[in-house]
Amino acid sequence: MTTLADCRALDAQDPLRALRDQFTIPEGVLYLDGNSLGVMPKAAPARIAEVVTKEWGEGLIRSWNTASWFDLPQRLGDKVARLIGATPGEVVCTDSTSVNLYKVLFAALSQQKDSGRKLVISERSNFPTDLYIAESLCRERGFTLKLIDASELQGPDSVLTEEVAVLMLTHVNYRTGAMHDMKAVTAAAHAVGALTVWDLAHSAGAVPVALNDSNADYAIGCGYKYLNGGPGAPAFAWVHTKHAGEFEQPLSGWWGHAAPFEFTPHYRPAPGVGRYLCGTQPIIALAGLECGLDTVLAAESFNGDHGAMSALRAKSLALTDMFIRLVEERCAGHGLSLVTPREHEQRGSQVCLSREEGAYAIVQALIARGVIGDYRAGDSQMPDILRFGFTPLYIGFEDVWNSVEHLVQVLETAEWKREEFNRKNAVT
């Protein structure tokens, strides 16, 4: 049996332990929800205050030049590039994940519009907003959205056929934590002539991503989860350079113009990913995002030339392995099932458990104890989920022990049943 002492020993040996000091973690909170909203970097309040009082307050309009606001989306994009296997100049930080998905899916569909291909494939369990964006775009542009299970991508009856225009997947599933093999799936899609669109919302800052090595076509991702950019931080978009110069930008705003300060009446897109900028971006929010990006990039110093994500990945897997082991050792007989794959190469940086009843109440009881994970409701095809994210930057092995200890106590006492009772009898 694993012990608290074992976990403490792992923390003591953890070369990344000091990275945790970059964050302000609230007293009494054990935060396993960095996959929903990352923790605040200690540097963020001062940097944001500087942007507010100095750049806005004192610099005013002059800060477009003196504080280089115009370069910000690409400068931050270059930092994101280091985390997702991209090259500087290939990424911009801008708008929301959903808006960026609209841009890249629009572009991919435009590239396929004369191909005769009519199918867009995605997973039934993909994050809903991705499906909503795809649903509208497919309807408007004459494509059919087909929702599948991940297993249908493989084998002789694979849904990947020459009818497929675009394969749009989230790299790490938000509900299950299951991760696709980006390189293999991209190759399979390309083999039938389909383009790939990857959502990296639960990947960027969480697992190694190799966009160029995978020869992916388009990707977008989120700034406020594992990148710790703050609530609603700008998202990012990436396009493979093989499409540069030809991909479309439906949201053809001034910031993506080839010569934005000429104020010409006709749109001429900037070369490369710069065209994915549209309107004026929230400068203060971008400052928060940069603080978050820097906390992840700080891991680079622990791993020589292999990048931040290589070092972080080893710890992430050790944390999720430990969580799985402790749940199995200590919560047996309580009706929990493991939803997240055991195989390392198929796992993101989270662990999801299911339970036939009480999942919501158990999560609420944990939150009441300061152990913040989250709950995702199931449906006829998917069970209710208890979801626990493990951000290796600030979560340690003793945290894993403590979270399972709380889970054991919630399950062994009537605590979650009281939550369930309160919920069912709530006066609304």
Q: Which of 20, 22, 30, 36 binds a second copy (CB under 8 A)?
A: 36
Q: Which of 10, 19, 37, 209 binds a second copy (CB under 8 A)?
A: 37
**Catalytically annotated residue among 369, 387, 397, 399:** 387
Q: Which of 124, 146, 190, 417 binds a second copy (CB under 8 A)?
A: 124
Tell me the one-letter amino acid at 176: T
Closer residue to a second copy (CB): 22 or 186: 22
> What residues numbered 217-236 form the site for a second copy, per CB under 8 A?
224, 230-235
The DSSP symbol for 51 reads: I
The whole-angstrom separation of Cα 216 and Cα 211 is: 6
Is position 128 annotated in a ligand binding site?
yes
Q: 333-338: long-range contacts at Cβ-Cβ below 8 A with a sequence spacing of 24 or more?
A: 334/411, 334/412, 336/386, 336/411, 337/383
Rounded to a whole number of angstroms, the CA Rg of the chain reads: 22
Q: Which of 43, 150, 251, 331 binds a second copy (CB under 8 A)?
A: 251
Helix (H) or strand (E) segment spanning residue 169? strand 164-170
Residues 6 or more apart whose Cβ sits within 8 Å of residue 61: none
| Bridge partners, residue 172, by sequence | 179
Q: Should residue 410 be labelled a site residue for a second copy when binding is judged by CB under 8 A?
A: no
> What residues numbered 43-72 form the site for a second copy, per CB under 8 A?
44-45, 48-49, 52-53, 55-58, 60-63, 69
Candidates 36, 321, 386, 340; CA nearest to 176 is 340
**Catalytically annotated residue among 225, 275, 355, 369:** 225
Is position 231 annotated in a ligand binding site?
no
Using H for helix, E for strand and C for coil, what is the string for 415-427? Answer: HHHHHHHHHHCCC
How many residues does this entry show for the chain? 428
Residue 174 bears catalytic tag:
no
At 319, list the tokens: 């944390």
Q: With CB under 8 A, what is the number of residues at the site for a second copy?
A: 77
Q: Should residue 420 be labelled a site residue for a second copy when binding is judged by CB under 8 A?
A: no
Q: Is 24 exposed, middle or buried (0-12, 13-18, 19+ CB in 10 A)?
A: middle
The binding track of 132-171 with respect to a second copy, each residue x by CB under 8 A or -, is xx-xxx--x------x------------------------
Residue 127 bears catalytic tag:
yes
Residue 224 bears catalytic tag:
yes
Closer residue to a second copy (CB): 84 or 235: 235
Q: End-to-end CA distance of the chain: give it in Å, rounded.
A: 45
> What residues numbered 332-371 form the site for a second copy, per CB under 8 A?
367
8 A C-beta contact, residue 154 and residue 100: no
Please enumerate, by residue number, every residue annotated as part of a binding site.
97-98, 127-130, 170, 199, 202, 224, 254, 280
Q: Annotated active-site positions, please?
A: 127, 199, 224-225, 387
Query: Binding site residues for pyridoxal 5'-phosphate, as ranges?
Result: 97-98, 127-130, 170, 199, 202, 224, 254, 280
